[in-house]
Structure 1
Amino acid sequence: MCRLSNSLVGCLNLLAFALSIPILVTGVWLSKQAQTECEKWLETPLMVLGAFLLIVSFLGLVGAWCRVTWLMWLYLFVMFLLILLMLAFTAFVFVITNKGAGKALSNRGYKEYRLGDYSNWLQNRVNDSDNWNRIQSCLKDARLCSDFHTKFKNDNVQQFYAENFGALQTGCCMPPDNCKFVYQGPTVWNRPEGGNHTNPDCNAWSNDPNVLCFSCESCKAGFLQNLKTEWKKVTIINIIFLVFLIIVYSVGCCAFRNNKRDHWRK
């Protein structure tokens, strides 16, 4: 295995080098052509990821195939830091997504979510007005509630209440159940006269398709629930990637020893 380690490390980093180019190009393209807030938000992470992959894979490629010992040492040092970072990130995601769950409603096929059920760190992120304005913009650009309205507009009230909606749909596209609004359509609800609502989301609701419940705590809670679900999937991918990194790091250590051995023979 150690005899083939230089070739194997070189091939893996050649693949990573090739992958970094389209990622970097996509980030640069978004920085020039992005029109929506979501696209603009993606440009920086893509450019950073592409540049990082480009530099690290170049170090590993030259260090392994050209037998440059100091480049291999630098490559292994960066890989070690990346492994530590991935371990810390995986543990962090697990901790902050451990809290929060939907509340089942009587005679409803869907659940509702409360902002206070989630970790304080996540709550602080969505309660920041700048962050939430960007998130709202992304949700609107994605036509979340307009597609929701189109899909279920032919439901009568019994059919609608029996549907199994996603967390974002229940939180952002319809008022909370305890508001006791009268159903007219998926995103059209009549407010009963003389209602005394202690839930601030009831007053925040509007039938205006550009407003709806995007400013509600229920929308923030729905977003966090959706984020929690997605991050749980990311955690699984992170663990698989982490195992892969450890294997590559181990092979890289063999290549480093080969480089040192060849250097002393000279």
Structure 2
Amino acid sequence: MGVSNNITAFLNFVALLASVPIIGAGIWLASKPDNECIHYFRWPVVILGFLILLVSLAGFIGAYWNRKGLLALYLFCMAVLIALLLILLVFAFIVTRPDGSYSVPSRGYREYRLDGFSAWLRDHVTNSGNWGKIRTCLADSDVCAKLNQNYITSDQFFGAHISPLQSGCCKPPTVCGYNYVSPTMWLNPVNPMGDPDCLLWNNDQSVLCYNCNSCRAGLLGNLRKEWRKANVVLIVAVVVLIWVYLIACSAFKNAQTEDLFRRYKQGWI
């Protein structure tokens, strides 16, 4: 095996390792309660990570055993996968850029407005056609039940940094003026504010504020927070993959030159 093939094999091993955090970030995203309820958000990163793993393995085998056809296929497929990963990153950054959160006086958590998030997320995640299934999925999860386990007094709850999903779905908006009993049990105010969500709140644990716009906004807030964290890992991984790919292209060309020179010396051409 020539020097260039050695380098290419090593680089493909690095690319193989770079696919691991991509897969890990995808699995982490897929395991979150909100992503479990939005099926088409769960697997794109995991699928891309596994494809990069397989292509890198093919490239390593091709370089180690000097299979030019396999190496050429690796270079083509890896270019496509890097392009797809870049498109996913740019798209995720654009649709998660707007932040619909706002601070509430004397509260550790933030609350969320639906119109503060990107139109694409609102249209594709919280539209009436999708929300029915998402709402049922969220109600069946333990997202709100965990609050009752973790917080007892109002001071504990009001000072807590709960998730956007819990803030939007498990309690009424603060502006409504409901009185605290437990994180998911509130006494009706005498004159609730004009926010439509104030009338949608229900102490029934299967209803709560799952029909509220604040719940939809909280879901988008969760998605934004999680994808922003995952993007950090994906950006580092894609930088490594691009660096590896460019050097691998150069090494592949050098391997071609080495092979041509060896044939010339042996009198084959």
- Both proteins in one fold, TM over 0.5: yes
* Aligned twin of 1:213: 209
1:4 to 2:6 alignment? yes
Amino acid at match of 1:7: A
Letter in 2 for 1:106: P
Q: Does 1:170 align with 2:167?
A: yes
**Offset at residue 13 of structure 1 (A):** 6.4
Structure 2 residue aligned with 1:187 = 184
Summarize the Cα distance change of 1:244–1:138 in structure 2 as closer, same or farther, 3 Å threshold: farther
1:239 counterpart residue number: 235
- Deviations 1:202-261, CA, capped at 9 Å, x for gaps: 222111111111121111111111211111112211110011101220232134224422
The 1-side partners of 2:46 and 2:223 are apart by: 23
> Residue 225 and residue 10 in structure 1: after superposition, are their counterparts in 2 closer, same or farther (change >3 A)?
closer
Counterpart contact for 2:55–2:74, Cα < 8 Å: yes
The aligned counterpart of 2:103 is 104
Unmatched 5+ stretches in structure 2: 28-34, 264-269
Aligned to 2:76: 77
Distance 1:82 1:259, change over 3 A: same
8 Å contact from structure 1 (residues 9, 64) kept in 2: no
| 1:61 shift after superposition | 2.6
SS in 1 for 2:144: helix
Give 2:252's aligned amino acid.
F
Going from structure 1 to structure 2, the CA distance change for 1:117 and 1:56 (only over 3 Å counts) comes to same
Instruction: Report the Cα offset of residue 199 of structure 1.
Output: 1.9
Question: Alignment partner for residue 200 of structure 1, among 192, 196, 218?
Answer: 196
Relative to structure 1, the CA distance from residue 190 to residue 168 in structure 2 (aligned partners, 3 Å threshold; closer, same or farther) is same
* Inter-partner Cα distance in structure 2 for 1:110 and 1:216: 18
Work out whether residues 68 and 259 of structure 1, in 8 Å CA contact, stay in contact via their aligned partners in 2: no
TM-score of the superposed pair, with normalisation by structure 1: 0.78
Aligned partners of 1:4, 1:255: CA distance in 2, in Å? 9
Which deviations, in whole Å up to 9, do the C-alpha atoms of 1:127-159 show, x marking residues without a partner?
23454344435534541101112211x20x444
Aligned residue pair count: 248
Question: What is the percentage of aligned positions where both structures have the same residue?
Answer: 36
Give RMSD over aligned pairs: 3.2
Please give the per-residue CA displacement for 1:55-109, whole angstroms capped at 9, x wherever unaligned: 4134313321222223212211121222222222222222222211422222323
Alpha-carbon distance between aligned partners in 2 of 1:47 and 1:87, rounded to the nearest angstrom: 15
Cα contact 1:13–1:61 (8 A) shared by 2: no
Instruction: State the one-letter code of the partner of 1:226.
Output: N
What is the correspondence of 1:1-266 to structure 2 with a 5 Å cutoff?
Answer: 2=4, 4-9=6-11, 11-12=13-14, 38=36, 41=39, 45=44, 48-49=47-48, 52-53=51-52, 55-152=54-151, 154-155=152-153, 157-192=154-189, 195=191, 197-264=193-260, 265-266=262-263
Where does structure 1 lack aligned partners over 5 or more consecutive residues?
27-36
Q: Can you list the C-alpha shifts for 1:146-191, whole angstroms capped at 9, x where unaligned?
A: 1112211x20x44433333322211010011122222222111122
Code of the aligned partner of 1:232:
R
